[in-house]
Amino acid sequence: MKTLKLFIAILVLSVGVANAQFTKAELQVSGLTCSMCSKATEKSLRTLDFISDIKVDLNKNLFVITFKKDVPVNIDMISKKVQNAGFFVNNLKLNFNFNNVKLADNYFNYQGNTYKLMNANHPLSGDVAVTVVDKGFSPPNVYKKYQPAATDSGKPGKVYHLTI
């Protein structure tokens, strides 16, 4: 009987975790001057194992990224790959599936990291677009606007700050 209860508890937790993930992203890159620059950035991003597809809009320097289902997404690696190609992340907007995600004081955990919603005023469910406002993911004026409210001591993993 104890084994059955344990199995059911593990099954319920794993189903809840499977729904919670980043599904896609809009990545705006600064410093691109030509299609060769864009191609180099795209090639660098495609080496990440959690990326399924990339569509490029050269007019807006925008990369629409689709993530593989049930594969952990590392947003620091996205920024690192853009920087390794010689450019900078100007804006990173992510779609996160909030089904079965527990928010506590506007914080939630995903893949060992903590995410703080800086302006969430209502419960979230389904796919929600969030923008990373940390240094290296947003323009300096956006980072400066949210940085004073970014006090997160004692939270597990790296803490990322998001707006809706």
What tens digit of pLDDT does each residue of 5-55 get? 433 333 333 333 445 689 999 999 999 998 899 999 999 999 999 999 999
Q: Which amino acid is at 108?
A: F
Residue 26 resides in a domain: yes
Q: Is 70 left (phi over 0), alpha (psi -120 to 50) or beta?
A: left
**C-alpha distances out from residue 138 to 89, 92, 156, 158, Å:** 7, 7, 23, 17
- Least confident piece of the model among 10-14, 62-66, 127-131, 151-155: 10-14
Higher pLDDT, 83 or 7: 83
Q: Quick one: pLDDT at residue 134?
A: 93
Q: How many domains are there within the chain?
A: 1
Query: What angle, rounded to 10 degrees, do the helices at 75-84 and 35-45 form?
Result: 140
Question: Which is more confident, 16 or 92?
Answer: 92
What would the two tokens of residue 78 be? 């996205």
Is 117 within a domain? yes
Cβ atoms of 126 and 99 closer than 8 Å = yes
Beta strands in the chain (DSSP E): 22-30, 51-57, 62-67, 88-97, 107-110, 113-117, 127-132, 159-163
What is the model's pTM?
0.83
pLDDT confidence of residue 119: 87
Q: Give the mean pLDDT of 57-86.
A: 95
Distance in angstroms (rounded) separating the CA atoms of residues 155 and 106:
12
Residue 11 lies in a domain: no
Q: What is the dihedral of CA 151, 130, 103, 148, to 10 degrees?
A: 10
Would you state the pLDDT for residue 137?
94
| Domain assignment present for 7 | no
Q: What is the pLDDT of residue 87?
A: 95
pLDDT score recorded for residue 86: 94
Q: Which residue range forms the structural domain that includes residue 29?
A: 20-163
Mean pLDDT for the stretch of residues 49-63: 95
Q: Is residue 109 part of a domain?
A: yes
Say how far apart CA 103 and CA 48 lie, in whole Å.
Answer: 28
**Residue 109 maps to which CATH number?**
3.30.70.100
The rounded Cα 103 to chain-centroid distance in angstroms is 16
What's the confidence (pLDDT) of residue 147? 85
User: Which 3 state secondary structure label does DSSP give 62?
Assistant: strand
By mean pLDDT, which of 17-31, 77-91, 99-113, 116-130 is the weakest? 17-31
**12 lies in a domain?**
no
Q: Is residue 4 part of a domain?
A: no
Taking the C-alpha atoms of residue 123 and residue 102, their distance in angstroms, rounded to an integer, is 10
pLDDT one-digit tens code per residue, 115-126: 999 988 777 889
Question: What six digits make up the tokens of 73?
Answer: 């997404």
Q: What are the tens digits of pLDDT across the range 141-164?
A: 999 998 877 777 778 788 999 999
In a domain, 99, yes or no: yes
DSSP H stretches of helix in 20-52: 35-45
CB 99 within 8 A of CB 19: yes
